[in-house]
Amino acid sequence: MSKRKIKWGIMGPGNISRKFASDLVQSENAELVAVASRTEGKAASFASEFNIPRSYNSYDEFVQDPEVELVYIGTLHPQHKECVLQCLNAGKAVLCEKPFTMNAEEAEELIKAARENNTFLMEAMWTRYLPAVVTAMNWIKEGKIGEVNMLTANFGFNVGWAPDSRLLDKKLGGGAMLDAGIYPISFASLIFGTQPTNIKSSAHIGETGVDEWFSALFEYENGKTAMLNSGVRLNMANDAYIYGTEGYIHLPNFLFGAGAYLHRPGSDVEGFKDDRQLNGYIYEAEEAMKCLREGKLESSIMPLDETYDIMKTMDTLRKQWGLEY
């Protein structure tokens, strides 16, 4: 039985939206019908690239498009709140790129608006839906590594010294936390199912006033811990290790879902390798569309309350560093 096609619109046709659209056009369940940008000509160029029938130079016009059911928001971090509110108030379902917002206060405002408008809203934490991560979570649920007591997860890259780049611009939410650190932090939330009871951290604040790299130790009940590192001026081995009482799981390049490897004493390594041809954004898109078809207002895999709690955790870290956007 064929599924009802969901009609998508994209706000902010930048690099991340290009990767998302490249995946979405491969789906039989989706149709890209509109794109919007405030930069003259950018939406038209994007529409031409992906055969999208309508392009808008105005967000106001875009949200009035009656065909658009579900909007992917790939604008700059500080614009997320405004764009999401505009869509929700127009009755459009929203998949908003991470970081969801700049802080917990903004996240709370969006969640409230979604619930008041009775409209679907989801943070686009694409890593959670990747087959390798789903495989690892299934191994954990099946008790294959016993009780999970420790996690290490890193994500860092070196943007180089580019003081004018978005990644080092404080006004645009630059720095490690919102672009890179959110991945290990959200991953810890996925693994432990809760936020830490205690946080210890250290960050290097660079010349432009953003966190260029940081380390955080999350402490949970019963001695469970997560050691997380992230940076935008350091190349890191972007792996995650999940340690349980009966073995451990290694996820190389964990946020891209390259594979998952189960290590247990006295057993051969059980491996899952993801050889997909697509970027991997298709899985979060399919989840959003599934929720929409089923009349759900949020995803059980990335619930809104958890998105808010993760933002609160990130606010706590920034407070420890004295970093305000």
Strand 54-56 to strand 30-36: parallel, antiparallel, or no bridges (unpaired)?
Answer: parallel
Tokens, residue 218 = 């999350």
Q: What is the pLDDT of residues 65-121, one digit of tens each?
A: 999 999 999 999 999 999 999 999 999 999 999 999 999 999 999 999 999 999 999
Mean pLDDT, residues 242-261: 97
Give the integer Cα–Cα distance in Å for 57 and 85. Answer: 18
Q: What is the pLDDT of residues 136-153, one digit of tens each?
A: 999 999 999 999 999 999
Higher model confidence: residue 36 or residue 3?
36
Q: CA-based angle 199:254:291, to the nearest 5?
A: 90
Q: How many CA atoms lie within 13 A of 39 on its CB side?
A: 10
Q: Are 185 and 196 in contact (CB under 8 A)?
A: no
Mean pLDDT, residues 165-171: 94
pLDDT value at residue 1 = 45
The length of the chain in residues reads: 325
pLDDT value at residue 3 = 83
Phi-psi domain of 41 (left: phi exceeds 0; alpha: psi -120 through 50; beta: other): left
Tokens, residue 130 = 């990747």
Q: Are 265 and 13 in contact (CB under 8 A)?
A: no
Q: What is the pLDDT of residues 296-322, one digit of tens each?
A: 999 999 999 999 999 999 999 999 999
DSSP string, 272-300: EE---SS-STHHHHHHHHHHHHTT-SS-S
Which burial class, exposed, middle or buried, applies to 129 when counting CB atoms under 10 A from its CB (0-12, 13-18, 19+)?
buried
pLDDT value at residue 2 = 59
Which single residue is written with the structure tokens 């939206």?
17
Q: CA-based angle 93:68:20, to the nearest 5?
A: 75
Q: Are 286 and 166 in contact (CB under 8 A)?
A: no
Q: How confident is the model at residue 325 (pLDDT cuts 50, 70, 90)?
A: confident
Give the integer Cα–Cα distance in Å for 101 and 110. Answer: 9
pTM of the model: 0.97
